């Protein structure tokens, strides 16, 4: 009976979302109405006030605005230009070097920024005009920015990983560390993709001028601040010097100090960084709290556990069920924002994965990569839209065509994670 | 209608400035706590204060985020509808959201009232924190106001159609 109510609740949620109700609102409303029906009106009203206050004033969730602030300050203080210049000196002379530069610089920026949209927007502003100047294939140049942007949420710090960690009651620090190697691996696979493409067809990405070793060394100081900040935040978190909130605060403060010392942050830039942080944080908080309310409704119906028990008892190997889950995430990611899709589905699929014996860290990292793929696939590919917006001469279908070149890299990365889970778990 | 929209925009923009201030204080307080912990001893109750500031940061930014269409939505289906039906859908969802978040504001305010009446104190600093709970309720009320304005604008779209 309760499972039927849960399925109706999920149906109502989907209808609300398809009617363009923001995902967070839809989860709030569907969860509240479901709880109202299954438990009691009084319980639903009490749950609503208690959950809102608990989530909004949670010390654990205060990490979100601080990490977003760190990325926003870096975005508005021109850190990206230094990263791009340094990466260009080192790999710009290779065939497809500018596309490679974009990916390497995106990896660097992802190390201090937790958002794929911000990474794509930042890198695109600098690299798209350069690639146009050197007559790069529009599909390759656009896709290198869009796919490079997706590294923003794979390489820590990552807003998506923070939310996943909080929702699944895992350590933010451990999840960050677990995602470092997969993030670098994905970036390297992108570089390999560019090399193979440009080897087969040099016209796609002509080689640039070679920099001398002296010039290469001279470009490095531009990236040292970023590396120091990354080492401070992730190292401090991993070594237990900071709580995740403190790591976010130290990162934001460090980014601010670096920007001020370099005289690269103006007052309007700082205000924009703060207001951008507020918009992202409020959006994430509504999503997370909505997911908590919807999760409570699912919990009292016991649907996730019933589903997990049922799937675990199926006479098929766990990898078959995993393949179905992967397919659901790839398809879901195509239609929904990564974070929105994750918060909606985690209450159902996370207990299932654990019941099947998968490692929580491994499954979380896998989900993150799967859903970030949705940021570059049609019809709702945020990073693809950003690139097309930055370079209106590159139509959206061309961006999506370019993304096709990079899809094997995502799938190889996912396959490697499945074959060698120790990439994430270290055991 | 215009006056209501102006009031809503002014109110939510003002709240966003307060939220920005709370964010900066939250960052500074956390860093100060790290430094003091390394140098001497930590500031007592930092976690509680950071939690309350985080509540202000998020709740006071809700309306501002809605004004800037910052909440994630799936629009590929509704975008394909003709203008009239689209305005009807937007009207219904906006009013449903307005009613829900107004209810949420009222419930959080009632919760704050109960906390005040019971004289509930925080665990570390032993101070009353119900004013922050009221502030969150106020943030939700202002958010509901933005949604109401959105709904009224959609009604205008339906009528014009």
For residues A179 and A244, the answer to whether their CB atoms sit within 8 Å is no
The residue that leads in pLDDT, B102 or A125, is B102
- Non-local (6+) Cβ contacts of A352 within 8 A are A304, A307, A308, A311, A312, A321, A325
Determine contact: B5 vs chain A, CB below 8 A. no
| CB interface of A with B, residues 166-205, below 8 Å | none
pLDDT at B66: 94
Whole-structure pTM value? 0.82
Residue A9 CA to chain centroid, in angstroms? Answer: 28
Instruction: Give dist(CA B159, CA B119) in Å, integer.
Output: 50
In tens, the pLDDT along A220-255 reads 876 887 788 888 888 888 788 888 889 899 999 999
DSSP A348-371: HHHHHHHHTT--HHHHHHHHHHHH
The residues pairing with B121 across neighbouring beta strands, listed in sequence order, are: B128
Instruction: Give dist(CA A151, CA A119) in Å, integer.
Output: 8
CB atoms within 10 A of CB A221: 10
Tokens of A321: 């069920």
* CB spacing of B72 vs A22 below 8 angstroms: yes
**Mean pLDDT for back-to-back runs of 10 residues, chain B (161 residues):** 90 97 96 90 89 96 93 80 88 94 96 92 89 96 96 83 60
ipTM score of complex: 0.93
Determine contact: A286 vs chain B, CB below 8 A. yes
Using CA coordinates, name the residue in chain B closest to A279. B65
| CB interface of A with B, residues 73-112, below 8 Å | none
Residue for token digits 């004033």?
Answer: A57
Tell me the pLDDT band of A1, cut-offs 50, 70 and 90: low
- Check pLDDT > 70 for residue A323: yes
pLDDT at A241: 84
The residue that leads in pLDDT, A400 or A117, is A400
Residue B134 CA to chain centroid, in angstroms? Answer: 12
* CB spacing of B93 vs A280 below 8 angstroms: no
The torsion angles phi and psi of A90, rounded to 5 degrees, stand at: -85, -40
> Which residues of A are less than 8 Å from B93 in CB distance?
16, 19-21
In tens, the pLDDT along A17-58 reads 888 888 889 989 999 999 999 989 999 999 999 889 988 998
**Residue A57, SS3 per DSSP:** coil
pLDDT at B161: 60
Gap from B11 CA to chain A (nearest CA, Å): 15
Instruction: Give dist(CA A144, CA A106) in Å, integer.
Output: 9
pLDDT at A348: 85
Closest CA to A338 of A378, A385, A374: A374
Lowest mean pLDDT among A90-104, A105-119, A360-374: A105-119
Tokens of A292: 């908590």
- Check pLDDT > 90 for residue A134: no
For residues A303 and A348, the answer to whether their CB atoms sit within 8 Å is yes
User: How far is CA B77 from each of CA A365, A395, B74, B82, B137, rounded to the nearest angstrom?
Assistant: 30, 21, 8, 11, 33
Tell me the pLDDT band of A395, cut-offs 50, 70 and 90: confident
User: How far is CA A229 from each of CA A74, A110, A205, A247, B4, rounded to the nearest angstrom?
Assistant: 11, 12, 32, 10, 45
HSE-CB of A252 using CA atoms within 13 angstroms: 30
Instruction: Give dist(CA A405, CA A422) in Å, integer.
Output: 27
């Amino acid at each position: 009976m309760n499972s039927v109510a849960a399925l109706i609740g999920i149906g109502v949620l989907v209808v609300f979302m398809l009617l363009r109700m923001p995902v967070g609102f839809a989860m709030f409303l569907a969860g509240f109405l479901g709880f109202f029906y299954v438990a009691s009106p009084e319980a639903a009203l009490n749950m609503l006030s208690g959950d809102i206050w608990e989530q909004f004033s949670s010390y654990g969730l205060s990490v979100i605005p601080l990490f977003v602030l760190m990325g926003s300050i870096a975005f508005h203080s021109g850190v990206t230009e230094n990263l791009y210049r340094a990466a260009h000196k080192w790999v710009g002379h290779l065939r497809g070097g500018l596309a490679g530069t974009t990916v390497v610089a995106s990896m660097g920026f992802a190390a201090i920024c937790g958002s794929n949209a911000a990474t794509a927007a930042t890198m695109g502003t600098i690299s798209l005009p350069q690639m146009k100047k050197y007559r790069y294939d529009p599909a390759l140049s656009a896709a290198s920015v869009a796919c490079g942007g997706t590294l923003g949420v794979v390489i820590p710090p990552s807003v998506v990983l923070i939310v996943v960690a909080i929702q699944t009651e895992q350590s933010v620090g451990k999840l960050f560390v677990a995602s470092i190697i997969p993030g670098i691996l994905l970036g390297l696979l992108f570089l390999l993709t560019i090399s193979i493409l440009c080897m087969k067809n040099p016209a796609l990405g002509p080689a640039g001028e070679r920099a001398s070793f002296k010039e290469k060394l001279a470009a490095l100081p531009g990236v040292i601040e970023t590396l120091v900040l990354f080492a401070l935040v992730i190292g401090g978190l991993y070594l237990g010097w900071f709580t995740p909130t403190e790591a976010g605060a130290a990162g934001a403060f460090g980014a601010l100090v670096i920007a001020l010392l370099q005289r690269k942050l103006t007052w309007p830039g700082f205000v924009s960084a703060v207001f951008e942080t507020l918009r992202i944080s409020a959006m994430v908080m509504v999503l997370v709290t909505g997911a908590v309310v919807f999760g409570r409704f699912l919990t009292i119906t016991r649907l996730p556990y019933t589903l997990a028990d049922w799937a675990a008892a199926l006479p098929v190997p766990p990898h078959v069920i995993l393949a179905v889950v992967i397919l659901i995430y790839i398809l879901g990611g195509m239609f929904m924002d990564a974070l929105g899709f994750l918060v909606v589905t985690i209450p159902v699929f996370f207990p299932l994965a654990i019941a099947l014996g998968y490692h929580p860290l491994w499954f979380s990292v896998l989900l993150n990569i799967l859903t970030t793929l949705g940021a570059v696939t049609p019809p709702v590919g945020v990073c693809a839209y950003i690139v097309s917006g930055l370079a209106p001469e590159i139509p959206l279908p061309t961006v999506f065509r370019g993304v096709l070149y990079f899809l094997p890299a995502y799938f190889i990365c996912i396959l490697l994670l499945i074959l060698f889970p120790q990439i994430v778990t270290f055991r | 209608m215009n006056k209501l929209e102006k009031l809503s925009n002014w109110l939510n923009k003002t709240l966003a400035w307060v939220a920005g201030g709370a964010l900066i204080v939250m960052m500074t307080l956390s860093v100060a706590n790290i430094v003091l912990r390394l140098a001497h001893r930590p500031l007592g109750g930092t976690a509680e204060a950071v939690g309350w500031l985080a509540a202000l940061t998020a709740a006071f930014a809700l309306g501002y985020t809605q004004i800037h269409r910052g909440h994630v939505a799936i629009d590929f289906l509704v975008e394909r509808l003709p203008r009239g039906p689209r305005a009807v859908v937007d009207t219904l969802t906006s009013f449903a959201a307005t009613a829900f978040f107004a209810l949420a504001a009222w419930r959080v305010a009632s919760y704050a009232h109960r906390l005040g009446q019971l004289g509930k104190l925080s665990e570390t600093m032993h101070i009353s924190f119900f004013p922050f709970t009221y502030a969150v309720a106020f943030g939700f009320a202002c958010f509901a106001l933005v949604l109401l304005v959105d709904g009224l604008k959609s009604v205008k779209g339906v009528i014009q159609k």
